[in-house]
């Protein structure tokens, strides 16, 4: 499966300058701005059901002055209200003349919810919001991430390809997939990858050439791992967009993980819950 993951590219990238959501922190005083949607608004604040808005409607999001979606066609943006716990996000976002906003779709969720919205939520390939699993600059600065990260690669398996191996099309608790992989061992979305536990800290430091972001990320992959949640043009991990994280390129860069050997990575057996006690 890892050979399929690295079939076209031998390393995992993380370009925070594009295709990574910018993250804005707001409070109840932040004004709501109208956003013209091409598709629809999904409200999953209850964490039980998704209430769908109408296509081509207008949504109102708390957007601070100067906020901008990420560069790249995905145009992601996340807003977190620290007073209410609401997480707002959009994709395909753009800002036109007169600071008028438009987006492909938008959603509302809560940072106090489970992290996996109910079925019908389609912001990312595996059915989660933009914030889940994002590596933030403050986490790297403190020296540990402390949660599973999110990953993507070229060809997560299509439902048909997964079925040929007797695998689920996606791994619960994730609720969907946008995978189109046809290679026999392409991996389902929702699968968890990790770095082998026998790899020593010094080996990680050496492979990372001392780059702190790489060391923190690789060490975190040994303890928490990372979930495949999307398809992309290259194996990647998601970090907060550079417009809000202001990454120091000496700490986090798109190619900092390129010398981590592919054979260090493994796929965790999804038939066993991570909390299951193994005798």
pLDDT in tens, 154-199: 999 999 999 999 999 999 999 999 999 999 999 999 999 999 999 9
263 and 172, same structural domain?
A: yes
Work out how many domains the chain is built from and give that number.
Answer: 2
Evaluate if residue 125 carries a pLDDT over 60. yes
Q: How far apart are CA 234 and CA 215, in angstroms?
A: 21
pLDDT in tens, 235-257: 999 999 999 999 999 999 999 99
15 and 30, same structural domain?
A: no
Structural domain of 105: 22-110
What is the pLDDT, as a whole number, of residue 98? 83
- Sort 256 into a burial class: Cβ within 10 Å, 0-12 / 13-18 / 19+: buried
Residue with tokens 């395909």: 92
- Those residues whose C-beta lies under 8 Å from the C-beta of residue 209, and which sit 6 or more positions away, are 259
| Domain-embedded: residue 249 | yes
180 and 155, same structural domain?
A: yes
What is the pLDDT, as a whole number, of residue 231? 95
Q: How far apart are CA 202 and CA 200, in angstroms?
A: 5
State CA 116 to chain mean position distance: 12
pLDDT in tens, 193-224: 999 999 999 999 999 999 999 999 999 999 99
What's the whole-number average pLDDT of the chain? 94
Evaluate if residue 77 carries a pLDDT over 70. yes
pTM of the model: 0.94
């Amino acid at each position: 499966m890892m050979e399929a993951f690295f079939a076209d590219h031998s390393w995992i990238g993380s370009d925070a300058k594009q295709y990574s959501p910018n993250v804005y922190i707001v409070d109840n005083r932040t004004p709501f701005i109208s956003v013209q949607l091409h598709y629809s608004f999904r409200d999953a604040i209850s964490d039980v059901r998704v209430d769908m808005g109408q296509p081509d409607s207008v949504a109102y999001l708390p957007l601070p002055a100067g906020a901008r979606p990420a560069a790249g066609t995905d145009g992601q943006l996340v807003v977190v209200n620290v007073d209410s716990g609401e997480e707002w996000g959009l994709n395909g976002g753009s800002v036109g003349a007169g600071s008028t906003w438009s987006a492909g779709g938008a959603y509302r969720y809560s940072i106090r919810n489970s992290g996996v919205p109910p079925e019908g939520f389609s912001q990312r390939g595996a059915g989660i919001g933009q914030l889940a699993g994002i590596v933030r600059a403050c986490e790297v600065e403190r020296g540990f991430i402390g949660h599973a990260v999110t990953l993507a690669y070229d060809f997560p398996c299509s439902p048909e390809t997964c079925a040929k191996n007797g695998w689920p099309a996606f791994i619960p608790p994730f609720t969907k997939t946008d995978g189109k992989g046809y290679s026999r061992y392409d991996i389902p979305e929702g699968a968890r990858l990790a770095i082998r536990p026998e790899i020593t800290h010094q080996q990680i430091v050496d492979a990372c050439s001392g780059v702190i972001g790489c060391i923190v990320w690789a060490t975190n992959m040994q303890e928490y791992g990372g979930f495949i949640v999307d398809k992309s043009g290259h194996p990647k991990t998601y970090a907060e967009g550079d417009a809000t994280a202001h990454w120091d390129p000496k700490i986090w860069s798109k190619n900092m993980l390129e010398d981590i050997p592919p054979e260090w990575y493994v796929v965790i057996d999804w038939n066993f819950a991570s909390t299951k006690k193994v005798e």
